[in-house]
């Protein structure tokens, strides 16, 4: 680690857990922060919820980050509150960041989507496709903040679905990064190079515990995406994607890795170490693919023969549903057929060691 060892659990924001994180969950925490943290209301969502930012530090290196632009992507929100907890600890490492950097965090850009547990906002617009038109109040809040704050670095914080694997391997992409392109040729400008170097720094820190579980996103240019636009405007921007870790559907392990990624990036910026990294290593990070299902049942037979061909595989994805302020994972059949190129986070093979009793305990048994 590039920063002193410390006890993660002593800084972790324990009041935020699981997948359903709304403005109600974070507003009390924000109001109780010490005077070192400046809280501002930047504007309101479509349904009138506040969009707030918290700013701290007095250094010349300016970092802007926003989370929950997609309302149902809450893992990075938990990680930024852990980072705030780290700064609140007033350790030497925290004080050094406060002296060298000014950090502005918008922890929840889309509070309506967070409440409804949807990707989109209340007008059903994907805010990460609205960077040019800026038809939505949330998009204008972010753009105004970007123009006023004039960041040196931007972090665009998201969650990705459980379907992503690394390269062609049966390894989930627990964390993914992208240094967005700013033209169709995917030119590596000085701005984009800094994004790549910072990703290389984070990947090398994450390797210690998460070897092989970091993926790289496809870098096709799309000016409607906020990251591509900010990169085009000359600010090094990084897309962070929190993904699946085995059996961690609440994304509490992924949250820790995301916290470590954030800490590493900010530390590297803080002590002017970004240039030490070689951007070529960015391309050594394998690209993401979409080869995972939540459950894969191979060589299905003996089951409803009208629905399935003998020997087919059955792929199940969990739909995330909001019920009584909790997220429940409802299994749905996504695909049936020859799926030998695909993987399951849980796999059952009816030809081999399938334990039917085990399968009968699972919520998807009734669907088969």
Residues that bind Zn ion (CB under 5 A): 70, 73, 158
Output phi, psi for 174, to 5 deg. Answer: -70, -35
Q: Which is nearer to Zn ion, 254 or 270 (CB)?
A: 254
Cα–Cα distance list, 136 to 3, 121, 132 (Å): 39, 9, 11
Q: Which of 174, 167, 183 is nearest to 223 (CA)?
A: 183
Answer whether 266's CB lies under 8 Å from 155's CB: no
Q: Closest distance between Zn ion and the C-beta of residue 14, in Å?
A: 25
Q: Closest distance between Zn ion and the C-beta of residue 73, in Å?
A: 5
Answer whether 196's CB lies under 8 Å from 186's CB: no
Q: Which is nearer to Zn ion, 143 or 161 (CB)?
A: 161
- Contacts (Cβ under 8 Å, ≥6 apart) of 103: 55, 56, 57, 62, 63, 65, 87, 97, 266
Region for residue 154 given its phi and psi (left: phi exceeds 0; alpha: psi -120 to 50; beta: otherwise): beta
Q: Which is nearer to Zn ion, 67 or 191 (CB)?
A: 67
Q: Which is nearer to Zn ion, 158 or 251 (CB)?
A: 158
Q: Closest distance between Zn ion and the C-beta of residue 197, in Å?
A: 24
Q: Which is nearer to Zn ion, 175 or 269 (CB)?
A: 175
Please tell me the distance from the alpha carbon of residue 1 to that of residue 199, in angstroms, as a whole number. 15
Q: Which is nearer to Zn ion, 53 or 76 (CB)?
A: 76
Q: Closest distance between Zn ion and the C-beta of residue 158, in Å?
A: 3
Answer whether 58's CB lies under 8 Å from 102's CB: yes
User: In a 3-state reduction of DSSP, which class is residue 117?
Assistant: coil
- Contacts (Cβ under 8 Å, ≥6 apart) of 2: 205, 264, 267, 268, 273
Q: Closest distance between Zn ion and the C-beta of residue 238, in Å?
A: 14
Q: Closest distance between Zn ion and the C-beta of residue 250, in Å?
A: 18
Q: Closest distance between Zn ion and the C-beta of residue 317, in Å?
A: 17
Q: Which is nearer to Zn ion, 158 or 197 (CB)?
A: 158
Closest residue by beta carbon to Zn ion: 158
Q: Which is nearer to Zn ion, 67 or 102 (CB)?
A: 67
Sign of CA dihedral 88, 89, 93, 99: positive
Q: Closest distance between Zn ion and the C-beta of residue 365, in Å?
A: 32
């Amino acid at each position: 680690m590039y920063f002193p060892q410390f006890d993660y659990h002593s800084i972790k924001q324990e009041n935020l857990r699981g997948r359903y994180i709304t403005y109600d969950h974070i507003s009390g925490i924000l109001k109780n922060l010490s005077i070192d943290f400046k809280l501002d209301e930047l504007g309101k969502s479509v349904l009138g919820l506040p969009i707030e930012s918290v700013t701290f530090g007095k250094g010349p290196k300016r970092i802007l980050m926003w989370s929950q632009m997609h309302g149902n992507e809450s893992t990075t929100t938990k990680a930024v509150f852990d980072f705030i907890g780290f700064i609140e600890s007033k350790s030497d490492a925290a004080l050094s960041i406060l002296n060298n950097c000014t950090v502005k965090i918008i922890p929840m850009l889309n509070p309506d989507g967070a409440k409804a547990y949807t990707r989109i906002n209340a007008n059903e617009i994907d805010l990460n496709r609205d960077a040019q038109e800026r038809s939505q109040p949330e998009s204008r809040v972010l753009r105004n903040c970007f123009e006023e704050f004039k960041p040196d670095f931007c972090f665009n914080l998201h969650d990705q679905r459980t379907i992503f694997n690394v390269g062609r391997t049966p390894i989930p992409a627990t964390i993914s990064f992208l240094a967005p392109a700013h033209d169709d040729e995917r030119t590596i400008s000085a701005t984009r190079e800094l994004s790549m170097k910072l990703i290389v720094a984070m990947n090398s820190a994450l390797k210690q515990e998460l070897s092989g579980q970091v993926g790289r996103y496809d870098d096709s240019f799309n000016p409607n995406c906020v990251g591509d636009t900010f990169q085009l405007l000359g600010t090094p921007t990084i897309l962070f994607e929190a993904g699946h870790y085995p059996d961690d559907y609440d994304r509490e392990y992924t949250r820790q890795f995301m916290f470590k990624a954030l800490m590493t990036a900010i530390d590297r910026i803080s002590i002017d170490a970004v240039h030490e990294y070689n951007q070529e290593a960015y391309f050594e990070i394998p690209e993401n693919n979409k080869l995972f299902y939540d459950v894969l049942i191979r060589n299905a037979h003996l089951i409803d023969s009208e629905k399935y061909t003998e020997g087919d595989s059955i792929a199940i994805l969990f739909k995330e549903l909001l019920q009584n302020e909790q997220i429940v994972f409802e299994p749905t059949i996504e695909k049936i057929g020859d799926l030998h190129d695909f993987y399951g986070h849980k796999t059952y093979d009816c030809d081999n060691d399938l334990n039917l009793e085990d399968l009968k305990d699972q919520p998807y048994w009734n669907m088969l």
